[in-house]
Amino acid sequence: MSAKKPIVWFEIYVDNMERASKFYESVMDIKLETLLAPSGDGFQMKSFPGDMERYGASGALVKMEGVNPGENSTVVYFGSEDCITEERRVKNAGGKIFKPKMSIGEYGFITLFFDTEGNMVGLHSMK
């Protein structure tokens, strides 16, 4: 049996990089950093803060021709001290709450929302 592998990267596909960047910077109270993208027309990347030497996944917003956001089956969950904090920022940042903060029993709480690009995203906290 192989060793368990933590998630080490994620990508959230977007149509409008400026709009999506502003949304995540507002909701998560962070600053995204422009990454040098592989060669190719129409390819843009902005990364979320992260440290590849520490536990936990980092990731990026990605705009790439031929890949449309939304209607996908992947949900990324961002960790939070209390997910109600970020949940309260979603609407003002241009997103829409799908499921407000709810208990998942002994595993804490989650909020599900749609970003400005139509992607469903989650928040997770223990309180």
For residue 1, pLDDT over 50 is answered with: no
Torsion of CA 91, 20, 58, 74, to 10 degrees: 80
CA distance linking residue 112 with residue 120, whole number of Å: 7
pLDDT in tens, 44-82: 889 888 776 676 777 778 786 766 776 665 788 898 999
pLDDT per residue as tens digits for the range 84-117: 999 999 999 999 999 999 998 888 998 999 999 9
pTM here is 0.77
State whether residue 94 is helix, strand or coil: coil
Domain ranges of the chain: 9-125
Q: How far apart are CA 38 and CA 27, in angstroms?
A: 28
- The length of the chain is 127
Q: From the options 3.40.50.2000, 3.90.380.10, 3.10.180.10, 3.20.20.450, give the CATH code of 9-125.
A: 3.10.180.10
